[in-house]
Structure 1
Amino acid sequence: MSGRESTVKINALKELSLVAYQGEAIGVIGLNGSGKSTLMNLICGKIQPTTGAIYASSTPIMLGVSAALVPDLSGAHNVILGCLAMGLTKAQIADRHEAIMELAGLGSSINLPMRSYSAGMASRLRFAIAAAIDPEILIIDEALNTGDDEFRGRTKQRMDQLREQAGCVFLVSHSLKTIQDLCTRVIWIDKGDLLFDGDTETALGWYRKYTKELAGGDRFAAAKIRRRMQNTLDTVSIEPLQPGRRRSVRA
């Protein structure tokens, strides 16, 4: 009898190819466990792909400076800590401080300890801090599902600014309204497969039909929609041009 433990290999994502362009706000949708967060962790370099490669024009920044934030300190102090952790100088922080406060929209609560914040308040502050550095590639994973219409309006304005500055934003969310309001393109992942990559309205329309069939217990109809998405998906291949550069070709 062997004392060696057996291991099970799980492929969170199957082979897929996609290209993100400057000026895009890309929504990422899918059921829980579909592989959305795995894809974002791959893009930002937190985990390495077992096959293939990822190329980026700059280092992707994932919304999440939680490790640098201290719950016992005020939101205002955590703004400084978070910005320092992202590499901003004290002068840059001072220059952007007012804009960060305005985007977070916490009012006098900015002076309270972060441990007193609701999950939504903390997410708003983290987004305001992460968006302060004008990242070329920003990844937001399940952070903007809370907040009122005013905050969503400020968020959209800031994301539009990032895109206008030749930036690219990935937004993972279960809120289809948030995706609809903020994104110019949608990627739909299901069970590790890329099912759709394209127009926001088309993606959300089919996704709503798919989830409705699943919720109603009609797995046959849901599977039919899934097959249709796979059969009509435009595939993208990445071809080398010269060292460090690649081009995309749609099949």
Structure 2
Amino acid sequence: MADNERIPTVIADEAHIIYKVHQAGASSSSPLASFKRLATRSKNSNIREVHAVKGVSFVAYKGEAIGLIGTNGSGKSTLLRAVAGLLPVSRGAIYASGQPSLLGVNAALMNELPGDRNVELGCLAMGMSPDEVRAKKDEIIEFSGINDKGDFATLPMRTYSSGMSARLRFSIAAAKQHDVLLIDEALATGDAKFRRRSEARVRELRAQAGTVFLVSHSEQSIRDTCERCIWLEAGTIRADGPTDEVMKEYEAFARR
């Protein structure tokens, strides 16, 4: 795709994300204390503001797979949730084409229902028709590998390991073409065979002109699936560019 044909899918314009955290301590959480705060318009001392993302700006384009890297607490998952519309932007703005899909959120899975029924509900929740669901159901279950060690597709999801649940969520989300697909650590689950399948599927989604954001602590997954990388540290962008270049900077930082 030539530069003059590049179509933006996500634009972050000096985006700040600030959320509130309730800290331990019951003295100021009683009804009387709450009433006094309302009367005096004072703040609850047990509530702390966290400035998780600080003035982040970037443009993502159709056909890109973008890795988000950074140490724990750097703001990666918070940024993904804001792109998906699940967290408000406190200052600045984030614009997206269509409805970005955060892996595992759009697939409304229910622990008491069996895996195969959750596949149907998850696909319907993503806007597939009943005919599309019937056509893709067996393929999704096979891709997830949940039946590799028994007929788990007919068992309630509460019997699944966290890895099995994550693999099923990925398989459901990846069965549909998304304008913007946001993946948070899903490729770290399962064995090497599943990781290869899921990484190949991410490449297919890119080829179909979708945009994929991938958060992963697996540097190899980022290198294998993403041609561009954004490095977040303490809520700010330290680097944004070709994956090999940004990963080298990040690895040198991590070795300090």
Q: Report the TM-score, using the length of structure 2 for normalisation.
A: 0.77
| Aligned partner (choices 74, 77, 83) of residue 43 of structure 1 | 83
Matched, 1:164 2:241: no
Q: Equivalent residue of 1:207, what SS?
A: helix
Q: 5+ unaligned residues in a row in structure 1: which ranges?
A: 214-251
Q: Equivalent residue for 1:15?
A: 55
Identify the structure with the greater strand proportion. 2
Check if 1:174 corresponds to 2:217.
yes
Q: Is the 8 A contact 1:180 1:200 kept in 2?
A: yes
Within 2, Cα distance between the matches of 1:109 and 1:181?
30
After the TM superposition, which parts of structure 1 deviate over 4 Å for at least 4 consecutive aligned residues?
none
Are positions 1:33 and 2:76 aligned together?
Answer: no
Matched AA of 2:229: V
Which residue identity does 1:133 align to in structure 2?
K
What's 2:235 paired with? 192
> Displacement of 1:23 after TM fit?
0.8
Q: Which runs of 5+ in 2 are unaligned?
A: 1-35
Per the alignment, in what secondary structure is the counterpart of residue 70 of structure 1? Answer: coil
Q: Which amino acid aligns with 2:139?
A: A
CA contact (8 A) 1:66 1:126 kept: no
The structure that is helix-richer by fraction is 1
Q: So what's the TM-score if we normalise by structure 1?
A: 0.79
The answer as to whether partners of 2:84 and 2:100 remain within 8 angstroms in 1 is: yes
Query: Residue 187 of structure 1 aligns to a residue in which SS?
Result: strand
Pair 1:53 & 2:93 matched: yes
CA RMSD of aligned residues (A): 1.8
- CA distance in structure 1 between the partners assigned to 2:112 and 2:97 by the alignment: 37
Identity of aligned residues (%): 48
Q: Are the aligned partners of 2:107 and 2:172 in contact in 1 as well (CA < 8 Å)?
A: no
Residue 8 of structure 2 is matched in structure 1 by none
Deviation at 1:145, TM superposition (A): 0.8
Report the CA distance between 1:136 and its aligned residue: 1.2
**Counterpart selection for 2:137 from 80, 85, 97:** 97
The worse-fitting range, judged by mean Cα deviation, of 148-157 and 135-144 is: 148-157
